[in-house]
Amino acid sequence: MHKLQITNKHRFIGFALIGLVVYILSDVVDEWRSFQGATIAVYIVAIASVILLTGYSGQISLGHGALLAVGAYSAALTQIYFHVPIWVCFAAAVLVTALFGAILGAAAARLSGPYLAGTTLALAVGLPSIANQFSILGGEQGISFDAGWPPLSFGDSFTQYKWFFWIASLAALIAMWWVQNILRSRYGRTWRAVKTNEVAAEIAGINIGRSKVLAFTVSAGLAGLAGALLAMTMNNVSPSAFPLALSFSIATGAVLSGVNTLGGVMIGSVALVAIPEIASLISDRWSSSENLATILPEFIVNALLILTVFLAPKGPIEKLRSRHSK
């Protein structure tokens, strides 16, 4: 017990130090870097939701972008109709998307592998058409979601993008702290047992269906938070903001991070934000062709995926751990 308390204390100190670094960076970086920092925080939460679902529970989702959209619309509608503070909108996004995930998880509890992946993929593909059927969702134009301006006490130099950076980073830190704790609880152990061997887990008295539904519910709640944070950075929620490519990007980030561990989530998040900028720099330096600028990000992503699968299939962090353990 004492050892566990020390571990939790060290973990808390680590998160506090990360928060301090974010606080310092917010006064140093410019507007564009603040926006990128907020985007990284969004990806951290989104990728963590995929890692929890796939890496710890063994359920595969290729349409997580649809869950982000549910969270974004929930937050925006809560703000429009109830005029509540931004943190209440985020809480509504988590709760509504978790409920949606519970319903979807219960319906897909008997599915696994490619069947579950196909179901979530179909949801992501059909999302734009579904959203356009309801006028309350604003159609193609979408609906607004305004996080407001930072308090005047922060000074004139504290811009709105820095405010987004603060909110998104704080939300990501809280979410990661909570996820790490739940994965170390009996729920996390149950999910790992089900993933490793369903028959053995059932013999041990674990309700397989209930365990999978709970994992899908928690993962969906995290995805909903990521969607609300993404809507905050865009000030708008529309079907075009949650294309199928977003789902693939999140899945790619999870693979680059190491789908079996949360330790590398920052690697995947930074890569997703940095790849378009790297591709733009390369195309500007070597060619002015628009075609190159269009296909280069996908080429870099595919190359990284291939290298990760061959060199570090369990992720860079697990690769380093295995080397140190030898």
Report yes or no on 315 lying in a domain: no
pLDDT score, position 4: 46
- Residue 17 banded pLDDT, cuts 50, 70, 90: confident
- Residue 285 banded pLDDT, cuts 50, 70, 90: confident
pLDDT in tens, 109-158: 676 667 778 888 888 888 877 888 888 998 888 999 998 888 887 777 78
Report yes or no on 261 lying in a domain: no
- Residue 98 banded pLDDT, cuts 50, 70, 90: very high
Taking a C-beta distance cutoff of 8 angstroms, is the pair 267, 314 a contact? no
Instruction: At 148, list the tokens.
Output: 């407001």
pLDDT score, position 111: 67
**pLDDT tops 80 at residue 8:** no
- Residue 322 banded pLDDT, cuts 50, 70, 90: low
Report yes or no on 183 lying in a domain: yes
Between 300 and 79, the higher pLDDT residue: 79
For every residue of 99-144, DSSP letters joined together read: HHHHHHHHHTTT--THHHHHHHHHHHHHHHHHHTT-GGGTTTT-EE
Q: Report d(CA 107, CA 109) in Å as an integer.
A: 6
Question: What one-character DSSP code corresponds to residue 269?
Answer: H
Report yes or no on 282 lying in a domain: no
**Whole-number average pLDDT of the chain:** 85
**pLDDT tops 70 at residue 211:** yes
**pLDDT tops 70 at residue 1:** no
Picking from 60, 91, 124, 95, the residue whose alpha carbon sits closest to that of residue 220 is 95
CB atoms within 10 A of CB 224: 33
Between 43 and 60, the higher pLDDT residue: 43
**pLDDT tops 70 at residue 326:** no
Residue 96 Cα distances to 74, 108, 223, 281, angstroms: 7, 18, 11, 40
- Domain holding 200, by residue range, is 2-244
**pLDDT tops 80 at residue 20:** no
Instruction: At 90, list the tokens.
Output: 């985020």
CB within 8 Å of 39: residues ≥ 6 apart:
168, 230, 233, 273
Report yes or no on 288 lying in a domain: no
Report yes or no on 129 lying in a domain: yes
**pLDDT tops 80 at residue 183:** yes
Tally of domains in the chain? 1
pLDDT score, position 287: 60
Burial class (CB in 10 A: 0-12, 13-18, 19+), 16: exposed
pLDDT score, position 225: 98
Report yes or no on 139 lying in a domain: yes
Burial class (CB in 10 A: 0-12, 13-18, 19+), 6: exposed
Dihedral of CA 92/96/97/102: which sign? positive
Question: What one-character DSSP code corresponds to residue 152?
Answer: G
Q: Which of 43-57, 105-119, 162-176 has the lowest mean pLDDT?
A: 105-119
Question: What one-character DSSP code corresponds to residue 149?
Answer: P
**Mean pLDDT for the stretch of residues 79-103:** 95
Taking a C-beta distance cutoff of 8 angstroms, is the pair 163, 156 a contact? no
Taking a C-beta distance cutoff of 8 angstroms, is the pair 266, 93 a contact? no
Task: Please name the residue that has the structure tokens 């519970």.
Answer: 102
Most confident of the ranges 53-62, 108-117, 313-322? 53-62
Report yes or no on 277 lying in a domain: no
**Single-letter residue type at 82:** F
Instruction: At 63, list the tokens.
Output: 């349409």
Q: Report d(CA 79, CA 227) in Å as an integer.
A: 15
Angle, helices 2-26 vs 160-183, to 10°: value is 170
